[in-house]
Amino acid sequence: MNCSSVDLKAHFLGETARAEKNSVEDHLRACQNCREELDRLKLTDATLRTLVDEEPPQRIAFVSDKVFEPRWYQTIWRSGPAMGFASAALLAAAIVAHGFSVNGPARQVATPTVNTAQIEQRIEREVNNRLDAVVAKQRQQTVEMLDAAEKRFEAKRQTDLAVVQQVAQYYQKKTAQLMVAVNQERPPQ
């Protein structure tokens, strides 16, 4: 195997077939140029990977919309076991209804009474429950967002701190070098 027949980039990217891998490695042991090229690729890859992933500025979330949700009968229709159970229940109900229709007890028809106060109470209770749930959910989301923001700020602070330390070290080193240079150039007293 010679340099032109070696796909060094595919080898570096982990895309070489197992059978070919050994011959590429054999070639690398023998060829200084290809080893150097591989080092350059590694260095470029390492530099590319220093790019830090950013957090999305906002979370993506979808809200359940009743209009697009499947209807109850669609859900049942798609579910095999539920469909079987529903059929069995329907059959049982038909048998019981048939039994009552043949020798059934005297039926009493209850007259429905409408209590508006009760209905209003129920509506109010339901609205309050829903409202509480929404408020709790929003509170939870706010807490999560604050936590995430704090973490981001802390990470940024640490990065900035590291940069400042590097700058300080750089200038300390430069100052020390200058001092040495000045001392060397100063005539002996």
Partner 1 sequence: MIFREVEDRDLIAKARRGHVDAYNVLVSRWEKRVFNYLLRLVSNREDAMDLSQDVFLKAYQNLKKLEDPAKFPGWLFRIAHNEAFSLLRKNRPEGEIAGELKSGESSSRMFPIELNLAVQSALGRLSDDQREAVLLKVYQGFKFEEMAEILSCPVSTVKSRLYTALDLLKQTLAPVNMGGTE
* Interface contacts to partner 1, rule CB under 8 A: 9-10, 13, 15, 40-41, 43-45, 47-65, 68-70, 75, 78, 159, 162-163, 166-167, 170
Between 74 and 129, name the residue whose CB sits nearer to partner 1: 74
Which residue type occupies 130?
A: R
- Show the 3-state SS of 114-133: CCHHHHHHHHHHHHHHHHHH
Tokens 């000045």, residue?
182
Which residue type occupies 57?
A: P
CB 34 within 8 A of CB 28: yes
Between 14 and 112, name the residue whose CB sits nearer to partner 1: 14
Between 127 and 148, name the residue whose CB sits nearer to partner 1: 148
Return the SS3 of 168: helix
Between 71 and 107, name the residue whose CB sits nearer to partner 1: 71
Instruction: Kindly report the number of other CB atoms within 10 A of residue 6's CB atom.
Output: 20
**Least distance from partner 1 to the Cβ atom of residue 173, Å:** 11
Return the SS3 of 56: coil
Between 100 and 170, name the residue whose CB sits nearer to partner 1: 170
**Least distance from partner 1 to the Cβ atom of residue 80, Å:** 13
**Least distance from partner 1 to the Cβ atom of residue 186, Å:** 28
Q: Count CA atoms closer than 13 A to 48's CA, side-chain side.
A: 6
Between 40 and 151, name the residue whose CB sits nearer to partner 1: 40
CB 28 within 8 A of CB 16: no
**Least distance from partner 1 to the Cβ atom of residue 36, Å:** 12
Residue 23 makes CB contacts below 8 A (sequence gap 6+) with 1
**Least distance from partner 1 to the Cβ atom of residue 64, Å:** 4
* Encoded tokens for 40: 């350059």
**Least distance from partner 1 to the Cβ atom of residue 79, Å:** 9
